[in-house]
Structure 1
Amino acid sequence: MMVSQQSRTHHEDMDDGIFVTLWHRSQRGVSQFLIIIGLVLVGILSIYPFVWLISASFKPRSQVFDNRLIPRTFTLQNYVNVWQDAPLGLWLMNTVIVAVLAALTVALSSAMVAWGFAWFEFPGRGWLFGLVLATMMLPGAVTMIPTFLIWNSLGLVGTLVPLWAGNLFSSAFYVFLIRQFMLSLPRELFDAARVDGANQWQLFTKIALPLCRPALAITVIFEIQASWTDLMRGLIYLQDSSTFTVPRGLKALIDQYGFGGEWHWETLVTASVVTTIPLIILFFLAQKQILVGITSGALKG
């Protein structure tokens, strides 16, 4: 009799355990479902403006703002006219030149400064590094006029040089990013190379830079994106349409076809699509490098 009662109690405990397990699994399933729904909604809200922009680029002028994602009147003429109405090819080439030079210079200069803070030990290193980081708190408007006066005295206003040459002096954010990555590298590797006769420049170029490739890749990609969308410096330094970059050129189109009175919005949205596609392709091709760089920094930092 006692054995039977214990057996029933055991089975009841097992049933209760199974019920609790199923309950927790159902709770996790509901939570995951709600998270997925939330992510889908956020994704739709994020991508909707660009989908609308693409749809509007295939519409005639009278239907641009009808808020239909599927055009009632589908036309490719906008993509023909936009190349005739504006020198998009020249603007894209200027932007590519500025973006590539800006990315390469800031990556190299920031890596050199980061190497100094990561490898060399000297009095006041922490304070000096903190001072470098403090420059990120300085608004760009504070240095706008002095920087313009410097480039103007050099006779470079109206050229593409001021849009990228400032990166020769590194960036505090990228210095911090690359330094943190360098600090995670095994110091024994550099000590062994020094024993083999490697000098400081060889340690930097042959060991540090290759091992910091993920951080450098993120620096290059982020700087290309920043240069590609930089309107302020284009407004300040570029005066002739032959030197316009994409943001400065789009601003000129807005002045001409938007608020200038003609209201050729189909040209504006089409030009926006054409100039945005290269950046989307870049992020699509470099998404692996971005993920590797971010996860490596998170794990090693």
Structure 2
Amino acid sequence: MVSLLALLMTNWPGLVSAHAAKTCQWKKVTQTYTSIGRDGKATVKTKTVMVPYNCKEVDGGGDGDEAPTSEDDSGPSAEESAAALREAIAKYNALEKRHVECMGSSIVDPVTKMRVNAAGDPVNCGRLGLRPEPPKGLPKEYLNAIISERTPEEIAYSAAAQLALPEPVINIGPDPSWNRWNKAFVGYDYWIWVGGGTSVGPVSSQSGPATVSLRAEVTELSVSVDGATLSCTGPGTPYVRDRDVGRVSPDCGHVFETTGEKRLVAVAQWTVSWSTGGESGSFEFQRRGQMDTVVGELHAVNVDPPG
């Protein structure tokens, strides 16, 4: 029987020759795999391995594709890092757009406390995290090229999308809770306005290397009630109990014509003004809110005087 040592000695020149036939660069790659535990449960894990790339054939001799050293362990090239960053930014921009659209077309149900769309179906608008950051060591020329691809308007939009714009809290006055029946009444002029915050800022936001100045305010309000839609300038004017008795709202009022349970749905139009890099502009965002009230009817009762 040929010993293992003899076999290795016989084939060693060939092994060295095959090993020396190419040289490769090495990089770290994160691999995902599933591990099955003794309890039968599957767990997704990751590990980092070194893989060769950019291999080249060589003419004999030399050290071949050397094992990676600390000098070779440079990871992906600058071009690969820049391409990965562009891909991450594109995915984030798509998520950002869906988030803004979802927040503008849904409301938090006052009963279930869940966010729902116009049809009443639950929706999940997600949460915007931080924008993708460039990897350490990415040369400035690559980073500057990626930054220059975004216009001041795009940079400002990303900063504006992060603003916590409150959803409108609808109020009507006179407040139905002020009377013993806890109702609104047919035939009375009711003032409608929104609270919960109608302005934000000015604030400064950092979007990458750019600083964006932002200011937001509710500039329009539309209220759907009784099958009609009221269009109001600004957030509406609050009703003051001792001052506005018998007066009509200057900008957003409604007269209930029928009794019953009423739902008011408000859409607040937020105008976000921005400036960055010597340029300025504005964006429009929407937030929705709703409230329910009961409308009754008062009747006059004639009472004969005594005697």
Return the TM-score normalized by structure 2: 0.20
Larger radius of gyration: 2
More strand by share: 2
Which has the bigger relative contact order, CA under 8 A and spacing at least 6? 1
